[in-house]
Structure 1
Amino acid sequence: MGVIGASSSADSLAIAPLFTLKLIPLISYAASSSALSLRAKYPAFLRTIGSNKDLVDVIIRVLQHFKWTWVALLYSDEAFGKDGLEVCIHEVVPTEICLAYIAAIDDNTNFLNVFQQIDLQNISVIVVYSVQPKALALIEAAVVHNVTNKVWIATDTWFFSKSLTNRSEIERIGTIVGVSEKTANLSGFEDFINSKNHSKPHNVTGDFVCEQDCNCDDITGKDILAEEASYNFQVYTATYAIAQALHNVLECDRGKCKVNGTVYPYMVSKPVDESFAYFSFFLSFYLFASVLKPRSRCGQSCCRPVGFEICKMNTEDSKTLKLNKENHFIFAPSLIGVVFTYPLII
Structure 2
Amino acid sequence: MRKRALVCLCVLCMNTGFGCELLGNFDMPSLFKEGEIMIGGIFPVFNKDVSNIATFDGEPPPPVMFDLRAFRWAQMMIFAIEEINTDPALLPNISLGYRILNSCSSPTNTLRAALTLASSQNEKETASGCSPAVSAVIAEAGSSQSLAVAGIIGPFQVPVVSYFSTCACLSNRAKYPTFFRTIPSDYFQAKALAALVKHFGWEWIGAIQSDNDYGRNGVLAFKEEVKKFGICIAFVGTVLRTYPQEKILKVVEMIKQSTVKVILAFTPEGDFYPLMREIVKQNITGIQWIASEAWITAARPSTPEMYQAFGGALGFVVQKMNIPNLYPFLMNINPYRDPSEPFVKDFWETMVGCKPSSNVSDTGAAKICAGNETLMDHTQDVFFNVSQLRVTYNVYKAVYAIAHALHQLVFCRPVTHHLQRVNFRNQFGDDVFFDQNGNPPASYDVAFYVVLGYIGFLAVVCLVLAFLARKLPDNFNEAKFITFSMLIFCAVWITFIPAYVSSPGKFTVAVEIFAILSSAFGLLISIFAPKCYIIIIKPEKNTRKHAHQGIHLAPGLWHPSANNLIDSKVPPGCCSQKDVFLATTFFSRTQVRCLQYASENDPGITTLLRKCSRSLFLPYSVT
Task: State TM-score, norm by structure 2.
Answer: 0.41
1:220 and 2:375 correspond: yes
In the alignment, is the contact (CA less than 8 A) between 1:48 and 1:237 conserved in 2?
Answer: yes
Matched AA of 1:151: Q
Match of 2:76 in 1: none
1:193 is displaced (CA, Å) by 2.3
Matched residue, 1:79: 213
Aligned residue number for residue 69 of structure 1 = 203
2:301 to 164, 172, 177: 164
Q: Distance in 1 between matches of 2:448 and 2:155?
A: 44
Q: For 1:272, which of 416, 419, 441 is the aligned residue?
A: 419
User: Match of 2:394?
Assistant: 234
Correspondence list, 1:22-101, <5 A: 22-101=156-235
Tell me the SS of whatever aligns to 1:90.
helix
Match of 1:307 among 443, 463, 480: 443
- Note if 1:6 corresponds to 2:161: no
Deviation at 1:65, TM superposition (A): 1.1
Residue by residue over 1:130-155, the C-alpha shift from the partner in whole angstroms, topping out at 9 and shown as x without a partner, is 12133222222222222222100012
How far did residue 173 of structure 1 move?
5.8
> Aligned ranges for residues 95-244 of structure 1 at < 5 Å?
95-106=229-240, 107-108=243-244, 109=246, 114-118=251-255, 120-168=257-305, 170-171=307-308, 175-194=312-331, 196-202=332-338, 208-209=340-341, 216=348, 217=356, 220=375, 222=379, 224-225=383-384, 229-244=389-404
What are the superposed Cα offsets for residues 196-227 of structure 1, whole Å, 9 maximum, x if unpaired?
3422335x6xxx3268x657456738464259
What displacement does 1:38 show?
0.5
- Rounded Cα–Cα distance in structure 2 between residues aligned with 1:146 and 1:312: 28
How much does 1:307 deviate? Answer: 1.5
How many Å apart are 1:183 and its aligned residue? 1.3
Identity of aligned residues (%): 24
Which residue in 2 is equivalent to 1:325?
Answer: none
Query: Which shifted more, 300-309 or 33-42?
Result: 300-309
Q: Deviations over 1:230-283 (max 9, x none)?
A: 411100000000111111224xxxxxxxxxxxx87x5322111111xx23xx46
- Tell me the SS of whatever aligns to 2:190: helix
- Distance in 1 separating the partners of 2:285 and 2:174: 47
Counterparts of 2:342 and 2:234, CA distance in 1: 51
More helix by share: 2
CA distance in structure 2 between the aligned counterparts of 1:173 and 1:147, rounded to whole angstroms: 10
1:313-324 aligned within 5 A: none
- The structure-2 alpha-carbon separation of the partners of 1:231 and 1:69, relative to structure 1 and needing over 3 Å to count, comes to same
Asked if the contact 1:149–1:175 (Cα under 8 Å) also holds between the matched residues in 2, the reply is no
Q: Identify if the C-alpha distance between structure 1 residues 241 and 284 changes in structure 2 by more than 3 Å, giving closer, same or farther.
A: same
Match of 1:253 in 2: none
Separation of aligned partners in 1, 2:439 and 2:146: 20
Letter in structure 1 aligned against 2:394: Q
Q: Does the CA contact (< 8 Å) of 1:32 and 1:49 recur in 2?
A: yes
1:44 Cα deviation (Å)?
0.8
Any conservation in 2 of the 1:30–1:231 contact (CA below 8 Å)? Answer: yes
Read off the aligned partner of 1:178 and give its amino acid letter: G
Q: Is the 8 A contact 2:141 2:162 kept in 1?
A: yes
Q: Deviations over 1:90-143 (max 9, x none)?
A: 333322111111111243355565455445442110001112133222222222
1:229 CA drift (Å): 4.8
Deviations, residues 4-62 of structure 1 (Å, cap 9, x unaligned) = 11222112111213322221111011112221100122111101111222221211111
Question: Pairwise CA RMSD of aligned residues?
Answer: 3.5
In structure 2, distance between residues paired with 1:191 and 1:146? 42
Greater C-alpha Rg = 2
Residues 2 and 25 in structure 1, CA contact (< 8 A), matched pair in contact too: yes
**When the two structures are superposed, what TM-score results if normalisation uses the length of structure 1?**
0.71
The amino acid that maps onto 1:310 is V
Structure 1: segments with no counterpart, 5+ residues: 251-262, 318-333, 340-346
Cα distance in structure 2, aligned partners of 1:154 and 1:71:
13
Which is strand-richer, 1 or 2?
1
Aligned amino acid, residue 375 of structure 2? T
CA distance, structure 2, for counterparts of residue 29 and residue 148 of structure 1: 33
> What is the DSSP-based 3-state SS (H/G/I as helix, E as strand, rest coil) of the residue aligned with 2:296?
coil
Structure 2, unmatched stretches of 5+, are 1-134, 349-355, 357-372, 454-499, 502-507, 510-623
Q: 1:302 to 1:46 in 2, by over 3 A?
A: closer
Question: Residues 303 and 129 (structure 1 numbering): CA distance in 2 closer, same or farther, change over 3 Å?
Answer: closer
Once the 2 structures are TM-superposed, how far is the Cα of residue 71 of structure 1 from its aligned partner?
0.5
- The one-character-per-residue Cα deviations of 1:62-87 (angstroms, maximum 9, x if unpaired) are 11111112100011222321222222
Q: 1:111 & 1:13 partners in 2: Cα distance?
A: 26
Tell me if the contact between 2:317 and 2:444 (Cα under 8 Å) persists in the aligned partners: yes
The alpha-carbon distance between structure 1 residues 219 and 129, as it changes in their structure 2 partners (threshold 3 A), is farther
Following superposition, the deviation at residue 171 of structure 1 comes to 2.6
CA offsets 1:301-327 (integer angstroms, 9 cap, x no match) = 34542211232888xx9xxxxxxxxxx
1:102 and 1:96 map into 2 onto residues whose CA distance is: 17
